[in-house]
Structure 1
C-alpha cells in the first residue's frame, strides 16, 4: 500500500510538471515508472503487484473503448481491420526476414520478432484517441479496427511460435480457443445487426449508486474473465463487454461509475511499463537501441501508412494512421517472454527487445506529433483534428 500511494503521488507531480511543457499524461506515467522502479531509484520493488493492478486499467480502457465505438459503422469498413492486419503482419515478418537472412537468423527467431514488431499498443493508441476525441471518428474506427484484429491474431501467433519451438497446445486447448473465438464473432455479429439491445435489470440499477458500481465492474470484467480462461485475450473480452453496453445505450451511468477507477489503474499500468526500462542498459547500448527504435518507428509508420493508402485512404491521413500504429504493443512483451522461454531468443536479445518495446511506448506521443508536421492538409475519408 505505501508503494502504491507513492506511485500515485509521484504520478501527480510528474503530470503537473509535464503539463507545463504540453506533454501528455502518458509520458509522465512512463517516466515515473522509470524513476521509481528497481532499475531506477528503487523506491518501488514490488513490480509484480503494480503490474497486476495495471491490468485492471487496461481492462477498463478497452471496456470504455468498446462503449464508445459504433460497431455498425465498423462493420461497414471490415476491409481495413481484416486486410490491413494481415498485410501488416506479412510485411513485418518480411522486413525482419530480410534482416535475418543477412544475419543468418533461424526461421523461428525471424517469425517471432516479425510478430513482435507487428503488434501495436491498444492501451497507448486508445488513450491518445480518447484524449483527443477521435475514438469514434473515421480515423479512430480504422485504427481501433486494426487493433481489435491484432488482439484476435495473438492466439494464432502464440500457436505458431509454439510450433516453431517444437511445442504446441493440446487439442482440447485449441478446441476451447476455437469455440471461444467463434462465440465472440457471433456475439459481435449479433450486435452489429441490431440498432440496440436490452440488458436485463438495467432499469433497476439507475437509482442506486452502489449497485451501479458493482454492476459496472461485473460487466467490465465478466467477459474479460471468460475470454481469459478460454485462452483468448483479456483485452478482447473487455472490449466486447464494452460493445455490449454501448449497444444497450447504458453508457452514461456506467461511465460515471467506472471512469475514476480507469484513470487511476491505467496510470498504474503505464507506470509498470516504465519500470521495465533499465536506464543503465539503455545508456550503455544507446547507439544500438536508438537505431533500433528509429528503425521500428519509421518502418511501422511507412508500412501501416502504405497499407492504409492501398486500402483507399489519402496519403496525409494514411501517414497519421501509420504513426498511431508505429509503436510496439504491450502484448509483444508476452511474445518476447514466450520466445525466451522456448529458446527462440537468448537473454540478451530478450533484454534488447523489451527495451525497444518500452522505448517505443515512451516516445509514441512525440512521434505522432512529428508525423503531424508532414501532413500538408487534412483530406480523404477521415479528417484528424490537430494534435493538442
Structure 2
C-alpha cells in the first residue's frame, strides 16, 4: 500500500537540518535561531536539492505561532510593564514609528504601494523576544534595571504587533490587497468597528470566563497526578482557544493563543504549565523558524545588495538611535541607553509572522519577505557582537566626548536628595539598594520598627513614586560613587544590597567602606558559587536564597520534633 509521507518527510528534514545547523550556530556563538532559518533556506524551493512540502510546513508553522504566542502570554507580567511604563510605552511607540516610517520610505523608493510599505515598515520595527531574553540572560542582566526596561519596551512592541495582526485581515482590501474594497470610507470604518467589536467580545469572554475556567481546569487536571494529562491540558488549551477565537470571533490564532497564556498565568500552576509545555513549544517553534526560512530567496543578496544593506541599517541604526535618543531624553544614563539600543537592534518572530501574513493577504511581495528575512538573519547574527560592544563603547565615548560626559553628569532632579529631607534620614540610616520585591519587604520591615532608610534605585519612576509618598530616595546606579554619596553613605549604619547585581557588588562595597570604614554590609546572591566567593572575600553578610529557604524549613521541622521546653 502506498503511503503519503510528505508530513513525516517535512518534519524529519526540518528537525534534522535545524539540529545540525543550530548546533553549528551555537558553536559559532550565534543564536541557534539563525541556524533554524538557514535550515529552512536549504530545504526550501529557492535552493537546489531536496525540497520540503511548503504547504505542510506552513500549517506546522501556524502551530508554532500559537505555541510561541501562548508562551509570551504565560510570561506576560502587567506589573513588570507598569514598573517601567513611563519609558517603555513612549519609547516603543516612538521607535516603532521611526522604523515603520523608514521602512515605508524605502518601500516608496522601490516603487511599492502604500499598504506594502506599511506592512514592510512594521515588520522591521519589532524586535525578537527570544533573541532579547537570551542575550540579557547570557549576560546576567535580565533582572537588572536595564534588562527590565528592555523587556518592558518589548512587551509594548509585542502588544502593538498583536493589534496589527488583528487589524490586518479585515483591512487588507483598504491597504491595497483588493483596490475595490478601498473605495468607501464608510466600509472602512464599518470593517474597523466590526473587527474591534469581535476582538472586544473575545477579550471580554476571556476576562469574565477564561480567567476563572482555565485556571480551575488546570487545577482539576493537576489533582489527577498525571503529568501526561497536565501537559495535554496545557497544549489543548493553547491550540483550542486559538482555534476557537478564530472560528467564533474571526480573531487571529496569535491573539487567541496569547490570551490563553495570559489567562493561564492567573493560575498558581502557571510556572508548571510553562515548564511542561516548553519542550513541545520549542519543537514547534523550531519548525516555525524553519518554515519561515523556506520563504527566503538567497538570490536577493546578490540581486539587491543595496536594499539588504538599507534594511539592516534601518534595523541596527535607525531603531537603535531612536531608542537611545529617547532614553537619554528621559534622563536615564548612557549605559541604559546603549543597552536598550543594543537590545532592540534586531528583528525576529513577530517580523516573520507579520511578513508571512502580509504575503498571504497579498499585501507584501515575496521580495519583501526575503528582505525582512535577510535583515533578521544579519541583525540576529550581529546582535551578540553589538551587546559585547556596549561597555567598551560607553568607556570610549565618555573618554573622547565632552557631550557624553555632560550627559552622564547632567543634573537630574531625582539624583540627589532634596534639602528638605528630614535629618533622621541622613544619620545612622540604612542605605537600601534596590526597591524590588525583596527591597520592598525590607523597607516595610524597617518602617514597622521606625528605622530610617534611604533607597538607591535605578528606576526613576519608582524613585518619583517614593518621593511622592514622603520617603527618601535617590535615582541612579549604586555602583556610581555619586549615588551612594547622595544617599549619605558616610553617615549610614548599614548598606543593604537587595538587588542582584554581581558585577557591581564589589564596587558598591568598596565605595561604601572608603567613605564609611565601619559600615555593615548585607548582600543577596542567586548562586552558590557566587555566595562562596563573596564570603571568602569577607565582603559582608551574604544571604543565598536557597540556603535561607532550607534553613527556615529546617528550623520549622526541628521545632516540631524538639523535646518539650527545648527550642530548636
TM range (shorter): 0.7 to 0.9
Unaligned runs of 5+ in 1: none
Aligned to 1:359: 374
Deviation at 1:252, TM superposition (A): 4.0
CA contact (8 A) 1:213 1:257 kept: yes
Deviation at 1:70, TM superposition (A): 2.1
Aligned to 2:154: 143
Deviation at 1:365, TM superposition (A): 2.6
Aligned to 2:219: 203
Q: Which has the larger radius of gyration?
A: 2
Aligned to 1:333: 355
Is 1:54 the equivalent of 2:61?
A: yes
Deviates more, 1:277-286 or 1:52-61: 277-286
Aligned to 1:18: 25
Deviation at 1:26, TM superposition (A): 0.7
Unaligned runs of 5+ in 2: 1-7, 396-456, 460-476, 478-499, 504-568
Deviates more, 1:67-76 or 1:2-11: 67-76
Deviation readout 1:279-299 (Å, 9 max, x if unpaired) = 233333334423433344321
Q: Which secondary structure does the structure 2 equivalent of 1:278 belong to?
A: coil
In 2, Cα distance between equivalents of 1:266 and 1:11? 11
In 1, Cα distance between equivalents of 2:104 and 2:24? 43
Match of 1:255 among 265, 268, 274: 274
CA contact (8 A) 2:321 2:341 kept: yes
Deviation readout 1:54-82 (Å, 9 max, x if unpaired) = 22222222222322232223234444554
CA contact (8 A) 2:311 2:372 kept: no
CA contact (8 A) 1:205 1:211 kept: yes
Aligned to 1:27: 34
Match of 1:268 among 287, 296, 304: 287
CA contact (8 A) 1:68 1:135 kept: no
Q: 1:224 to 1:36 in 2, by over 3 A?
A: same
CA contact (8 A) 1:316 1:374 kept: no
Q: Which secondary structure does the structure 2 equivalent of 1:277 belong to?
A: coil
Deviation at 1:91, TM superposition (A): 2.4
Deviation readout 1:73-113 (Å, 9 max, x if unpaired) = 32344445543443234323443565577788765555454
In 1, Cα distance between equivalents of 2:208 and 2:91? 23
Is 1:224 the equivalent of 2:242?
A: yes
In 2, Cα distance between equivalents of 1:306 and 1:364? 20
Q: Which secondary structure does the structure 2 equivalent of 1:45 belong to?
A: coil
Greater fraction of residues in helix:
1
Match of 1:178 among 196, 215, 227: 196
Deviation at 1:28, TM superposition (A): 1.3
Q: 1:120 to 1:272 in 2, by over 3 A?
A: same
Aligned to 2:90: 83
Alignment length (residue pairs)? 376
Match of 1:4 among 3, 7, 11: 11
CA contact (8 A) 2:323 2:340 kept: yes
Q: 1:72 to 1:19 in 2, by over 3 A?
A: closer
Deviation at 1:307, TM superposition (A): 3.9
In 1, Cα distance between equivalents of 2:502 and 2:239? 32
Q: Which secondary structure does the structure 2 equivalent of 1:299 belong to?
A: helix
Deviation readout 1:172-228 (Å, 9 max, x if unpaired) = 75444213433566589889xx9x998224333220223212211222123322443
1:364-383 correspondence to structure 2 within 5 Å: 364-376=379-391, 381=459
Q: 1:297 to 1:100 in 2, by over 3 A?
A: same
TM-score (norm 1): 0.79
Higher relative contact order (CA 8 A, sep 6+): 1
CA contact (8 A) 1:129 1:140 kept: no
Q: 1:297 to 1:219 in 2, by over 3 A?
A: same
Aligned to 2:514: none
CA contact (8 A) 1:69 1:141 kept: no
In 2, Cα distance between equivalents of 1:128 and 1:269? 21
Q: 1:373 to 1:202 in 2, by over 3 A?
A: closer
Match of 1:303 among 322, 343, 348: 322
